[in-house]
Amino acid sequence: MATSVKRAFKYRFYPTDAQATEPSRTFGCVRKVYNMALAARTEAWARKQRISYGGTSAMLTAWKKTEELAYLNEVSAVPLQQALRHLQTAFANFFAKRTGYPRFKSKKKSHRSAEYTTSAFRYRNGELRLAKMAEPLAIVWSRPLPENAKPSTVTVSRDSAGRWFVSMLCRDSQIRPYPATGTAVGIDLGLDRLLTLSTGETIANPRHERKDRARLAKAQRALARKAKGQGSNRAKARRAVARIYARIADRRRDHLHKISTRLVRENQTLVIEDLAVRNMIKNRSLARTISDAGWSEFRNMLEYKASWHGRELVVADRWFPSSKLCSGCGAKRDTMPLNVGAWTCRTCGARHDRDVNAAKNLLAVGLTASVFGADVRPQRSTPGRRSATKQKPTRREP
């Protein structure tokens, strides 16, 4: 039976000079309004007062009436209001202790985007027109929208490489669960091997960043030689670096999409480990390699694809010693250095590949949690002992 979900469909488009001018001005106005509202709320916070979204909306109306900020009236009002809503969401997440305090948007480093709701765009017969624009956008329709789709929001963005994108949020009622299978798989994430499955299959790490490292270093050296300022040569050099980064990210994302789709299609239950990636990349010697692997992005893909297609994703406890346990008898080693790729169990004599053994242990604990509930915790003692080692509390990233 088909289910209905909200999906964002992202396309690249090529604006004319006139079309590029309007979004560029809107990006600047959105950033200005966001930063001014954040400053106002921060000052109020210092006085032990709170300003809600309604308060910042009233401020925006007043700002537009001033001579200094009269240019805010020249762009669509909808993206400016959406910026205030996004700021409200950021504060809500901060007060709920899910994220840190909202930060100001930088002209150079922040993501340039503007969000339009239904009153500020028109989509008809495959043509999209934004407010303040006379001509439709020249969109490259790389895939069709769902049948009878009606976008609820449209987000226009430009990345650091100079590419223009439009993202349309639609309700897709054509998502169907995959046919049920009786298979389950444990997935161990790594660096030398990107994935190791409990079936024994390994998927190599393409190391996209390493393949383009020489080109990236050359482009970065060229950028470093350019004098800092607003010169066109430095801007060109900066875009050259950004294009290489964009190429790396695009290839990584495409690879992870193919792997995650295949695993979700073939398996009813998938088990992965809860990795503290944010803490792991603090290791300077491994930060570049870990970031290039895209573990967090891969987990996110598994989560929403499993939800869409009727699969179950089980996330094992972060402190589960998957590499130290023997998948045959359950005996636990005291230590397991990172340079050990294969080992022999002293209890049963089984010979293990480190990663395959970890994937098998993840599968076992994941199936247990699937049957008995998420409160089941992994074993932390060697079989035969009377008492179990006291479990460490589960840690969550802030």
Rounded average pLDDT over 166-175: 90
Q: Please indicate whether residue 273 is annotated as part of the active site.
A: yes
Q: State the pLDDT at residue 390.
A: 32
Alpha-carbon distance of 257 to 118, in angstroms, equals 30
Q: Give a yes or no: residue 32 inside a domain.
A: yes
Q: State the pLDDT at residue 17.
A: 87
Rounded average pLDDT over 192-206: 93
Give pLDDT tens digits for 104-124. 998 877 679 999 999 999 999
Supply the mean pLDDT for the chain: 88
Q: Give a yes or no: residue 321 inside a domain.
A: no
User: Is the pLDDT at 244 greater than 90, yes or no?
Assistant: yes
Q: Please indicate whether residue 74 is annotated as part of the active site.
A: no
User: Is the pLDDT at 134 greater than 90, yes or no?
Assistant: no
Spot the catalytic one: 115, 273, 292, 317.
273
Q: State the pLDDT at residue 318.
A: 83
What is the percent of the chain where pLDDT is above 70?
91
Q: Give a yes or no: residue 264 inside a domain.
A: no
Q: How many domains does the chain have?
A: 1
Find the range with the poorest average confidence among 38-42, 249-253, 327-331. Answer: 327-331
Spot the catalytic one: 188, 209, 292, 317.
188
Domain encompassing residue 67? 3-175
pTM over 0.85? The answer is: no
Spot the catalytic one: 115, 292, 317, 355.
355
Confidence of residue 214 (pLDDT cuts 50, 70, 90): very high
Confidence of residue 271 (pLDDT cuts 50, 70, 90): very high
Confidence of residue 346 (pLDDT cuts 50, 70, 90): confident
Q: Give a yes or no: residue 203 inside a domain.
A: no
Q: Give a yes or no: residue 204 inside a domain.
A: no
Alpha-carbon distance of 276 to 318, in angstroms, equals 8
What is the percent of the chain where pLDDT is above 90?
62
User: Is the pLDDT at 371 greater than 80, yes or no?
Assistant: no
Q: Give a yes or no: residue 225 inside a domain.
A: no
Q: Please indicate whether residue 355 is annotated as part of the active site.
A: yes
Find the range with the poorest average confidence among 37-46, 315-324, 346-355, 377-386. Answer: 377-386
Give pLDDT tens digits for 139-167. 999 998 988 889 999 999 999 999 999 99
Q: State the pLDDT at residue 396.
A: 36
Rounded average pLDDT over 210-214: 92
Rounded average pLDDT over 337-349: 86
